[in-house]
Chains A and B, each alone.
Chain A
């Protein structure tokens, strides 16, 4: 698990501005703290898959987008990961003292959970064969209310300390659940490729990596 500085800056709306020494030092310090406080954990279960349904569970993923994403896969992974509750606590402590540090910490944690998920998925892919990207409920027309069934099927509360509240929010917040297809054939997904924007289809996204960011690399 790491915190990619360039990705962190992108989340913070950086557009090539000069980064002064104090901000630079704070980014480094807070990123280290985030990696130190995080207790990443994940849980994964394999299911047979047919027409949106995880066979034998009674769970059906609703919406066109998730079905399109999983395509003709006949097996899927149900996946959940979290950085743990201490991240939330530290975030609140930091905010109380410095809103800047609180903001940086929150952003660093967003980068960290993505990085952790990518590493775990890359390792899973070596066991299972080529995977699709992760697809989470709440994206597209895959309803966020699926969160409760996903958490129940994985026993995330007792296995990794992750819960979905009434509205479907994950708590702790720096957490991910997703469906991942096990492809019948085709190339593995580039989970560890750092250029995340290149693998996303949304060309008009406000947070898309711009040429300005090249100055960093």
Chain B
């Protein structure tokens, strides 16, 4: 029997089979909700299809297991998969058999409730059941997270070669927004063949395949639909037209061609002819420096800015956020840097008294939910790096490895496995080098070792070290010389943390921007800095203009001409703080800052302005003179004022009474909970928002950690109220002193009582009253529900 890996190395184009579902539906009407079940009850239905494709000349036959994973087929999964592999083998002797794996039919977190590990287990089970196949094809995937789970499951549980195939639309994205570039960069290291199938006809997939070809060293597969179906299920592209496109794919260097929805043995026999006539030549590919999230890829057409703010070192507020698990603060730092123009975000969880690995993973999961910017994992512990890279659905940079063998042996194989780029720090156990030559020697060692595990030069970012000019004045020039020297020798990129240069000196910005500019002219490709400091971004923007990478100064003009028009004076808002909060205007922040600068005590600002203004808004909302968005806008404004106050006051003094809020397990609807949290926060409570789809144990842990006397639970679906009930039971058992309020579309007062809650929240204003009752003993007009509390 032929070996798939040998075929990949040969000069032949490989032919896959065509549609299974189309053939099955033509043969019989009653395929039900899971056609793969027929493998057990009517195997001949599939055997006929396999035989027809084998006769048409397919080299590889796909098993009838597309929807047979345990998430869709449940307990039948293993037996369907085992039978289907044997059936394909029997029906098409002499052909290769590909274990066909499709999506789980569920969306992974954060969109859905399935975890990455659960998806991994689904695919692991399928791979083990299908171990007698010759290869695995994971196809019609939309979610890069789910695809990664499947590919890792194959890689870690079998030796079979694996094909990764996603489905794209004419906006060059999948349903979940994954770009073709992100797919290429992220999946290539985890698979043997990469490509596209389904979704569009062969014409529309051409630009997708062209884009893919330039970004991967792996062979390509294309299995298009035969155009789009009409309402009777007939497809628009006939076999001859389909074959014309396949010829173009073969000319492009596509290694494997087959068919998806609407194709039949007739189509495959024409592809067979093309394959027999042609000698296969691979696509042209040369590696490029790149990183990506699932939504955006960054290439080095000009220097990039790596935002340094998500790092607790020397930052009180970030330390506090990581200790208390306040990931909203981490999100706000990410969005602020994104807005300021960062291209990549550095993520660091290095605090001595927290679990670095768990925190880093949670930060990665949180950040990739809200920002499109690729991440740089700032950590030197191999176990934490591996966990973070596993959780990251993109191509990250690992910051960093150094010249020590321990560092190289521990980190390089992990970076290579997940396809990450690395920062190569020019230090080793001998300490910080003082000459250019010493720096180069260490860089050369790291580069050589990285290549042995398959990390190309283009994925290495050499850090020639910024030393403090106030202490070692001659070193600033050495750093710049080292950048020039390493780039003359290799195709690597360079990176520097900039601000260390000015440590200990007055007016640091002046030194920082001058050094940054000099480094950029020396060939710096990535600067780790604070993008919120305008001068930093101005230096980078100016460099792009002067070096010609900002063509026609277009980006510069667009950014700075616009900035002039939007000066604060243009808004002309100079009303007093109470008015600004009641109207929900963003100018409240500046007004609060001005009052604090003018000597108003922070606590006076809270008690004499913020709380009275919020109370006034609250009562207007209850009377019906304001409606919900206006109430929430006032809360947003007050929150901005609290942020200003926090800058002035030690953390403890502004800490309010804690309240834990969460949307219960299984429920992904969080708008009601978000509104409640926003309003409560602005009445001075310290709200610990656990997010959506939160298990009872996590809620209990947060209550214990924060000492909250009040917990708010939300559920929107009738099907998730039982989870709310069991969460209440666990809280009662473990945290007997904590009162529980519940809200959500399906709940009523009676229902809330039935499941054992203390209070029912009909709206956000009710939450505030309940909190005041629990913490301040204020009278409550709302009925208390249970007698046990």
Contacts and interface: CB of A to CB of B under 8 A. Distances in A.
A39 interface: yes
Contact of B174 (A44, A57, A127, A161): A161
Given A17-B624, A171-B668, A161 B175 contact: yes
Interface string B660-689: 000000111101001100100000000000
Contacts of B583: 20, 22
Interface stretch (B496-504, B632-640, B706-714): B632-640
B669 A57 contact: no
A84 interface: yes
Interface stretch (B105-113, B266-274, B515-523): B105-113
A56 interface: yes
Nearest to B624: A15
Nearest to B626: A17
B528 to A, nearest CB: 24
A23 B633 contact: yes
A158 B630 contact: no
Contacts of B369: 89, 92
Interface stretch (A62-70, A95-103, A111-119): A95-103
A89 to B, nearest CB: 7
B335 interface: yes
Interface string B79-112: 0000000000000000000000011011100111
A89 B177 contact: yes
Contacts of B633: 22-23, 26, 98, 100
B137 to A, nearest CB: 14
Contacts of B331: 96
A35 interface: no
A166 interface: yes
Interface string A116-153: 00000000000100000000001000001100010111
Interface string A178-199: 0000000000000000000000
Contacts of A145: 719
Contact of A169 (B169, B335, B626, B668): B668
Contacts of A106: 671
A96 B110 CA distance: 15
B112 A171 contact: yes
A84 B237 CA distance: 27
Main secondary structure of the interface of A (DSSP, over half): mixed
A158 B140 contact: yes
Nearest to B171: A39
Interface in B698-749: 717-720
Contact of A161 (B142, B171, B632): B142
A45 B628 CA distance: 40
A84 B629 CA distance: 25
Given A103-B629, A165-B106, A173 B668 contact: yes
Given A39-B171, A169-B668, A163 B632 contact: no
A7 B717 CA distance: 23
B105 A152 contact: yes
Contact of B370 (A27, A84, A93, A103): A93
B176 to A, nearest CB: 5
A123 to B, nearest CB: 12
A96 B370 contact: yes
A165 B231 contact: no
B584 A23 contact: yes
A98 to B, nearest CB: 5
B352 interface: no
Contact of A158 (B167, B674, B717): B167
Contacts of A161: 142, 174-176
A17 B231 CA distance: 47
Interface in A74-94: 84-86, 88-89, 92-93
A13 B630 CA distance: 11
Interface in B608-626: 624-626
A52 interface: no
B323 interface: no
A42 B734 CA distance: 46
A104 interface: yes
Contacts of B632: 99-100, 103
A20 B630 contact: yes
A61 interface: no
Interface residues of B, number: 61
Contacts of A138: 718
Contacts of B198: 158
Given A84-B175, A171-B111, A99 B674 contact: yes
A15 B622 CA distance: 12
Contacts of B103: 157-158
Interface in B225-245: 231
A155 to B, nearest CB: 8
Nearest to B66: A158
A103 B34 contact: no
Given A167-B719, A171-B107, A86 B177 contact: yes
B33 interface: yes
Interface string A16-45: 010010110011000000000001010010
Contacts of A84: 175, 177
A165 B114 contact: yes
Contacts of B381: none
Q: Among the interface residues A103, A104, A138, A160, which one has the most CB atoms of the partner chain B within 10 A?
A: A103
B175 A151 contact: no
Given A144-B717, A166-B666, A152 B33 contact: yes
Contacts of B674: 95, 99, 102-103
A104 B633 CA distance: 11
Contacts of A102: 671, 674
A94 to B, nearest CB: 10
A93 B338 CA distance: 11
Interface in B4-37: 29-30, 32-34
B33 A57 contact: yes
A158 B167 CA distance: 8
Contact of A46 (B110, B176, B231): B231
B38 to A, nearest CB: 12
A165 B107 contact: yes
A89 B371 CA distance: 9
A127 B231 contact: yes
Name the residue among A12, A15, A96 with the largest chain B CB count within 10 angstroms: A96
B676 to A, nearest CB: 10
Contacts of A89: 177, 369-370
B636 A165 contact: no
B627 interface: yes
Contacts of A86: 177
Contacts of B30: 56-58
A88 B231 contact: no
A12 B114 contact: no
A85 B175 contact: yes
A173 B669 contact: yes
Contacts of A100: 584, 629, 632-633, 635-636
B435 interface: no
Contact of B627 (A17, A56, A153): A17
B675 A103 contact: yes
B332 interface: yes
A58 B142 contact: no
A50 to B, nearest CB: 14
Contacts of B370: 89, 92-93, 96
Contacts of A152: 33-34, 67, 72, 105
B328 interface: yes
B436 interface: no
A150 B74 CA distance: 17
A59 B31 CA distance: 11
B172 interface: no
B774 interface: no
5 contacts: A97-B332, A103-B674, A144-B719, A152-B34, A158-B140
Interface of A: 12-15, 17, 20, 22-23, 26-27, 39, 41, 44, 46, 56-59, 84-86, 88-89, 92-93, 95-100, 102-104, 106, 127, 138, 144-145, 149, 151-153, 157-158, 160-161, 163-169, 171-173
